[in-house]
A = this chain, B = another copy of it.
Amino acid sequence: MTALSVIPVEGFPQVLPGDALVDLIAQHAPLVSGDVVVVTQKIVSKAEGRLVEIDAADPVAHKHLVEREAVRVLRRRGDLIMTETSHGFVCANAGVDLSNVARGWAALLPVDPDRSARRIRDGLRARTGHSVGVIVSDTFGRTWRKGVTDVAIGTAGVAAVVDLRGTTDALGRELEVTEVCVADEIACAAELVMGKSRGVPVAIVRGVDPTWLRESSVKDEIVRPYAEDLFR
Protein backbone atom coordinates (compact mmCIF):
# COMPACT_ATOMS: atom_id res chain seq x y z
CA MET A 1 0.00 0.00 0.00
CA THR A 2 1.44 3.33 -1.01
CA ALA A 3 0.61 6.73 0.42
CA LEU A 4 -2.53 8.56 -0.59
CA SER A 5 -2.47 12.19 -1.77
CA VAL A 6 -5.39 14.54 -1.22
CA ILE A 7 -5.02 17.51 -3.57
CA PRO A 8 -7.20 20.65 -3.46
CA VAL A 9 -8.11 22.03 -6.88
CA GLU A 10 -7.24 25.72 -6.55
CA GLY A 11 -8.60 28.63 -8.58
CA PHE A 12 -11.95 27.04 -9.32
CA PRO A 13 -14.36 29.76 -10.54
CA GLN A 14 -17.83 30.42 -9.12
CA VAL A 15 -20.26 28.04 -10.81
CA LEU A 16 -23.48 29.36 -12.35
CA PRO A 17 -26.60 27.54 -13.55
CA GLY A 18 -25.96 25.93 -16.91
CA ASP A 19 -22.17 25.93 -16.56
CA ALA A 20 -20.48 22.86 -18.00
CA LEU A 21 -19.00 21.48 -14.79
CA VAL A 22 -17.09 18.79 -16.66
CA ASP A 23 -15.23 21.44 -18.68
CA LEU A 24 -14.35 23.43 -15.56
CA ILE A 25 -13.05 20.32 -13.76
CA ALA A 26 -11.09 19.17 -16.82
CA GLN A 27 -9.49 22.64 -17.08
CA HIS A 28 -8.56 23.03 -13.41
CA ALA A 29 -7.89 19.53 -12.06
CA PRO A 30 -4.62 17.82 -13.06
CA LEU A 31 -6.16 14.35 -13.33
CA VAL A 32 -4.61 10.97 -14.04
CA SER A 33 -6.39 7.62 -14.43
CA GLY A 34 -7.19 6.02 -11.09
CA ASP A 35 -7.84 9.35 -9.35
CA VAL A 36 -11.05 9.92 -7.44
CA VAL A 37 -12.49 13.40 -8.00
CA VAL A 38 -14.62 14.69 -5.12
CA VAL A 39 -17.05 17.45 -6.11
CA THR A 40 -19.16 19.29 -3.54
CA GLN A 41 -22.91 19.07 -3.92
CA LYS A 42 -23.17 22.85 -3.98
CA ILE A 43 -21.53 23.32 -7.38
CA VAL A 44 -23.30 20.28 -8.83
CA SER A 45 -26.65 21.74 -7.72
CA LYS A 46 -25.72 25.14 -9.15
CA ALA A 47 -24.60 23.75 -12.50
CA GLU A 48 -27.79 21.68 -12.69
CA GLY A 49 -29.92 24.73 -11.92
CA ARG A 50 -31.18 23.32 -8.61
CA LEU A 51 -31.64 26.83 -7.17
CA VAL A 52 -34.90 28.31 -5.98
CA GLU A 53 -35.74 31.89 -5.03
CA ILE A 54 -36.45 32.41 -1.36
CA ASP A 55 -37.74 35.55 0.38
CA ALA A 56 -34.75 36.51 2.51
CA ALA A 57 -36.95 38.80 4.61
CA ASP A 58 -39.42 36.02 5.49
CA PRO A 59 -38.19 34.16 8.58
CA VAL A 60 -40.18 31.02 7.77
CA ALA A 61 -39.42 30.85 4.04
CA HIS A 62 -36.52 28.46 4.59
CA LYS A 63 -38.60 26.25 6.88
CA HIS A 64 -41.40 26.02 4.34
CA LEU A 65 -38.95 25.08 1.60
CA VAL A 66 -37.46 22.37 3.83
CA GLU A 67 -40.91 20.96 4.55
CA ARG A 68 -41.68 20.91 0.82
CA GLU A 69 -38.45 19.09 -0.02
CA ALA A 70 -38.68 16.54 2.80
CA VAL A 71 -40.66 13.34 2.30
CA ARG A 72 -40.73 12.85 6.08
CA VAL A 73 -39.89 14.93 9.14
CA LEU A 74 -38.23 12.83 11.86
CA ARG A 75 -37.57 15.39 14.60
CA ARG A 76 -37.58 19.14 15.19
CA ARG A 77 -35.50 21.14 17.62
CA GLY A 78 -35.29 24.89 17.30
CA ASP A 79 -34.31 25.74 13.73
CA LEU A 80 -33.17 22.17 13.06
CA ILE A 81 -35.54 19.93 11.13
CA MET A 82 -34.31 16.33 10.82
CA THR A 83 -35.71 15.00 7.57
CA GLU A 84 -35.75 12.15 5.14
CA THR A 85 -35.27 13.27 1.54
CA SER A 86 -36.66 11.76 -1.67
CA HIS A 87 -33.27 10.05 -2.08
CA GLY A 88 -33.65 8.27 1.27
CA PHE A 89 -30.99 10.43 2.95
CA VAL A 90 -31.64 11.32 6.57
CA CYS A 91 -30.16 14.77 7.10
CA ALA A 92 -30.85 18.23 8.48
CA ASN A 93 -33.17 20.55 6.57
CA ALA A 94 -33.68 18.18 3.62
CA GLY A 95 -30.32 19.31 2.26
CA VAL A 96 -31.68 22.81 1.51
CA ASP A 97 -28.70 25.10 1.87
CA LEU A 98 -28.25 28.87 1.95
CA SER A 99 -24.45 29.09 2.30
CA ASN A 100 -22.31 29.75 -0.77
CA VAL A 101 -25.39 30.78 -2.79
CA ALA A 102 -26.47 34.35 -3.55
CA ARG A 103 -28.77 36.06 -1.03
CA GLY A 104 -32.39 35.38 -1.92
CA TRP A 105 -31.63 31.92 -3.28
CA ALA A 106 -31.38 28.42 -1.81
CA ALA A 107 -29.69 25.35 -3.26
CA LEU A 108 -31.54 22.02 -3.37
CA LEU A 109 -29.88 18.61 -3.60
CA PRO A 110 -29.39 17.18 -7.10
CA VAL A 111 -32.41 15.12 -8.19
CA ASP A 112 -30.23 12.00 -8.66
CA PRO A 113 -26.69 12.49 -7.30
CA ASP A 114 -25.50 9.08 -8.59
CA ARG A 115 -26.51 10.19 -12.08
CA SER A 116 -24.76 13.55 -11.53
CA ALA A 117 -21.58 11.65 -10.62
CA ARG A 118 -21.89 9.37 -13.67
CA ARG A 119 -22.27 12.34 -16.01
CA ILE A 120 -19.14 13.96 -14.60
CA ARG A 121 -17.22 10.69 -14.77
CA ASP A 122 -18.30 10.04 -18.38
CA GLY A 123 -17.59 13.64 -19.40
CA LEU A 124 -14.12 13.62 -17.86
CA ARG A 125 -13.30 10.35 -19.62
CA ALA A 126 -14.44 11.80 -22.97
CA ARG A 127 -12.50 15.06 -22.53
CA THR A 128 -9.32 13.90 -20.81
CA GLY A 129 -9.03 10.21 -21.72
CA HIS A 130 -8.58 9.42 -18.02
CA SER A 131 -10.74 6.90 -16.16
CA VAL A 132 -11.49 8.43 -12.79
CA GLY A 133 -13.94 7.81 -9.98
CA VAL A 134 -16.30 10.63 -9.03
CA ILE A 135 -17.93 11.35 -5.67
CA VAL A 136 -20.51 14.08 -5.13
CA SER A 137 -20.11 15.06 -1.47
CA ASP A 138 -22.29 16.87 1.03
CA THR A 139 -22.00 17.75 4.72
CA PHE A 140 -24.17 15.86 7.21
CA GLY A 141 -24.47 15.78 10.98
CA ARG A 142 -24.41 12.55 12.98
CA THR A 143 -26.89 11.20 15.48
CA TRP A 144 -24.57 10.71 18.44
CA ARG A 145 -21.51 12.74 17.59
CA LYS A 146 -21.14 16.51 17.51
CA GLY A 147 -19.71 18.27 14.50
CA VAL A 148 -20.41 17.55 10.85
CA THR A 149 -18.41 15.48 8.38
CA ASP A 150 -18.63 15.07 4.63
CA VAL A 151 -20.38 12.07 3.08
CA ALA A 152 -20.89 10.75 -0.43
CA ILE A 153 -24.36 11.45 -1.85
CA GLY A 154 -23.48 10.17 -5.34
CA THR A 155 -20.75 7.96 -6.77
CA ALA A 156 -19.57 6.73 -10.16
CA GLY A 157 -16.56 4.58 -10.97
CA VAL A 158 -15.51 4.13 -7.35
CA ALA A 159 -17.00 1.75 -4.79
CA ALA A 160 -19.44 3.20 -2.28
CA VAL A 161 -19.08 0.25 0.11
CA VAL A 162 -16.32 -2.37 0.01
CA ASP A 163 -17.36 -5.79 1.25
CA LEU A 164 -14.60 -7.64 3.09
CA ARG A 165 -16.69 -10.72 3.94
CA GLY A 166 -14.66 -13.87 3.55
CA THR A 167 -11.37 -12.07 4.15
CA THR A 168 -9.40 -12.66 7.31
CA ASP A 169 -7.67 -10.41 9.79
CA ALA A 170 -3.90 -10.32 10.35
CA LEU A 171 -4.25 -13.36 12.66
CA GLY A 172 -6.22 -15.41 10.14
CA ARG A 173 -9.59 -15.00 11.83
CA GLU A 174 -12.57 -14.10 9.66
CA LEU A 175 -13.40 -10.39 9.92
CA GLU A 176 -16.52 -9.41 11.85
CA VAL A 177 -16.74 -5.89 10.47
CA THR A 178 -17.12 -6.55 6.83
CA GLU A 179 -18.50 -3.60 4.91
CA VAL A 180 -16.50 -0.38 4.85
CA CYS A 181 -18.05 2.77 3.39
CA VAL A 182 -14.95 3.91 1.51
CA ALA A 183 -16.87 6.58 -0.42
CA ASP A 184 -17.72 8.42 2.81
CA GLU A 185 -14.12 8.04 3.98
CA ILE A 186 -12.84 9.49 0.68
CA ALA A 187 -15.34 12.39 1.00
CA CYS A 188 -13.96 13.05 4.51
CA ALA A 189 -10.36 13.00 3.29
CA ALA A 190 -11.27 15.52 0.57
CA GLU A 191 -13.04 17.85 3.00
CA LEU A 192 -9.79 18.21 4.95
CA VAL A 193 -8.29 20.19 2.04
CA MET A 194 -11.48 21.92 0.88
CA GLY A 195 -12.53 23.70 4.04
CA LYS A 196 -15.92 25.35 4.20
CA SER A 197 -14.74 28.93 3.98
CA ARG A 198 -11.94 28.65 1.44
CA GLY A 199 -14.21 28.03 -1.51
CA VAL A 200 -12.37 24.95 -2.80
CA PRO A 201 -15.22 22.85 -4.25
CA VAL A 202 -13.18 20.08 -5.91
CA ALA A 203 -10.38 17.84 -4.63
CA ILE A 204 -8.48 14.88 -6.03
CA VAL A 205 -7.81 11.77 -3.95
CA ARG A 206 -4.92 9.93 -5.62
CA GLY A 207 -3.71 6.44 -4.77
CA VAL A 208 -6.84 4.57 -3.66
CA ASP A 209 -6.88 0.78 -3.92
CA PRO A 210 -7.39 0.10 -7.65
CA THR A 211 -9.86 -2.71 -6.87
CA TRP A 212 -12.26 -0.02 -5.60
CA LEU A 213 -12.59 1.51 -9.08
CA ARG A 214 -15.83 -0.06 -10.29
CA GLU A 215 -19.45 0.81 -11.03
CA SER A 216 -21.26 1.92 -7.88
CA SER A 217 -24.22 3.75 -6.39
CA VAL A 218 -24.85 5.53 -3.10
CA LYS A 219 -28.55 4.80 -3.44
CA ASP A 220 -28.00 1.04 -3.73
CA GLU A 221 -24.97 0.61 -1.46
CA ILE A 222 -25.21 3.22 1.32
CA VAL A 223 -28.81 4.33 1.83
CA ARG A 224 -30.20 2.16 4.63
CA PRO A 225 -33.69 0.92 3.76
CA TYR A 226 -36.45 2.02 6.09
CA ALA A 227 -37.16 -1.60 7.06
CA GLU A 228 -33.57 -2.08 8.33
CA ASP A 229 -33.60 1.12 10.36
CA LEU A 230 -33.46 0.76 14.15
CA PHE A 231 -33.90 4.44 15.01
CA ARG A 232 -36.29 6.21 12.62
For the complex, what is the distance from the CA of A99 to the CA of B186, rounded to whole Å? 24
Q: Which of A1-45 contact B (CB under 8 A)?
A: 1-8, 10, 14
Indicate if A148 sits at the interface (CB-CB under 8 A). yes
Q: Which of A144-180 contact B (CB under 8 A)?
A: 144-151, 160-162, 164, 167-171, 173, 175-177, 179-180
- 10 new A-B contacts, CB < 8 A, other than A143-B229, A149-B188, are A1-B195, A2-B8, A4-B189, A4-B192, A75-B231, A144-B232, A147-B184, A149-B181, A170-B199, A180-B196
For the complex, what is the distance from the CA of A75 to the CA of B229, rounded to whole Å? 11
Indicate if A224 sits at the interface (CB-CB under 8 A). yes
User: Which residues of A are in contact with B by a Cβ distance under 8 Å?
Assistant: 1-8, 10, 14, 74-75, 77, 82, 89-90, 97-103, 139, 142-151, 160-162, 164, 167-171, 173, 175-177, 179-182, 184-186, 188-189, 191-193, 195-200, 205, 208-209, 221-224, 229-232
User: B3 touching A171 by the CB < 8 A rule?
Assistant: no
User: B148 touching A181 by the CB < 8 A rule?
Assistant: yes
Minimum CB distance partner of A5 in chain B: B3
Minimum CB distance partner of A186 in chain B: B192
User: A170 touching B144 by the CB < 8 A rule?
Assistant: no
User: B100 touching A171 by the CB < 8 A rule?
Assistant: yes
User: B184 touching A188 by the CB < 8 A rule?
Assistant: yes
What is the count of identical protomers in the complex? 2
For the complex, what is the distance from the CA of A43 to the CA of B181, rounded to whole Å? 22
User: A144 touching B180 by the CB < 8 A rule?
Assistant: no
User: B196 touching A208 by the CB < 8 A rule?
Assistant: no
User: A229 touching B191 by the CB < 8 A rule?
Assistant: no
For the complex, what is the distance from the CA of A186 to the CA of B189, rounded to whole Å? 7
Tell whether A144 pairs with B90 under 8 Å between CB atoms, given A100-B170, A171-B102.
Answer: yes
For the complex, what is the distance from the CA of A229 to the CA of B176, rounded to whole Å? 28
User: B4 touching A164 by the CB < 8 A rule?
Assistant: no
User: B146 touching A221 by the CB < 8 A rule?
Assistant: yes
For A6, list chain B residues within 8 Å (CB).
3-6, 189
